[in-house]
Amino acid sequence: MGLWELVDQVLIMFYKISGHPVFDYFLGTFLVALLAVIIGEFTISMVFVVNKNHLDRLNTRLADLQQLSLAALKLGDKKSYDACNKEANDAFGRAFFNMFGLSAAALWPAFFALAWMQQRFAGIGFPIPFTGLAVNYVFTFIICYILARMFFSRVKNRLPYFRGIHRMLMAYEENSSKS
């Protein structure tokens, strides 16, 4: 059995819990989304730990330049304001695209979940009451994914491993806001 078939057999079990098709679809989709969130959170924690110093440097530099540009503006020093703004522009570009690495680390499992759902549920329309419109599996997955993210953010500080990461992130955010 290939890996994809194995994944298919596992994921489809989430859709057979109560025996009620509609309820099972939404519960199953929520559980698949939750799994995608957990795997994504695990990967992003790895990237964060490995790249923390680099991100720190980028963010500190950006924050410094931004403070400087504001100070220059206050003092009416247009030349310094333009110079700091230009430098901050450069720093922001780097920080922004570094975020891409983090967002990729957090979101990649969601796309595999969508790939799997496409095979299973493409072509099924979910009618929106009173509108005559219908949405597809992508829409229902995104809704469930957002709910799963909200749910996970509330429970992660009680889970092993994520508890430690959560503490580290809190400390990091506290330090960042002080600097």
Partner 1 sequence: MKKGMINKIALATLLLMLAVLALGASGVGAQQETAVGSDLGLKGKLGEAIAKAPVGTGKGQIDPDAPRGAFGIPGAPEINYLVAILWAVWVGWIFSTVGAFGGIMAGVGHMTVYGLGDWVKPFKNTAPQLNKLLTDSIRTSNQWLVGLSALLSTINYLKAKRLAWPLGIALGLGSIVGAVAIPALTGGKVSFSQYQGWFGLFVFVVGGVLLYETTPRGQASKKAAKEAARAFEQSIKEKKDEAAQGITVTQWSLTDIKFSFFGVEFKFNPIWAFVGGVVIAAISAFLGVGGGFLYVPYLTSIVGLPMFVVAGTSAMAVLVSMMTSITTYITVAGAAMDWGMIGVELIGVFIGSMIGPRTQKYIPDIWLKRLFVVLALYVGLGYFSKGFFGKAWVPM
User: What are the residues binding partner 1 (CB under 8 A)?
Assistant: 43, 47, 50-51, 54, 62, 64-75, 77, 79-89, 92-94, 96-112, 114-115, 118, 122-123, 138, 173, 177
CA distances (Å), origin 103, targets 47, 59, 64, 77, 162:
10, 16, 24, 37, 18
Considering the complex, what minimum distance in angstroms separates the CB of residue 90 from partner 1? 8
Whole-angstrom distance, CA of residue 177 vs CA of residue 174: 5
Whichever of 55 and 162 has its CB closer to partner 1, that residue is 55
Considering the complex, what minimum distance in angstroms separates the CB of residue 116 from partner 1? 8
- Convert 61-98 to b/e letters by CB count within 10 Å (16 or more is b): bbeebbebbeebeeeeeeeebeebbebbeebeeebeeb
Whichever of 20 and 74 has its CB closer to partner 1, that residue is 74
Q: Please compute, for residue 31, the number of CA atoms within 13 A of its CA located in the half-sphere on the CB side.
A: 14
Considering the complex, what minimum distance in angstroms separates the CB of residue 106 from partner 1? 7
Considering the complex, what minimum distance in angstroms separates the CB of residue 71 from partner 1? 5
Whichever of 24 and 51 has its CB closer to partner 1, that residue is 51
Whichever of 158 and 178 has its CB closer to partner 1, that residue is 178
Considering the complex, what minimum distance in angstroms separates the CB of residue 18 from partner 1? 27
Whichever of 93 and 164 has its CB closer to partner 1, that residue is 93
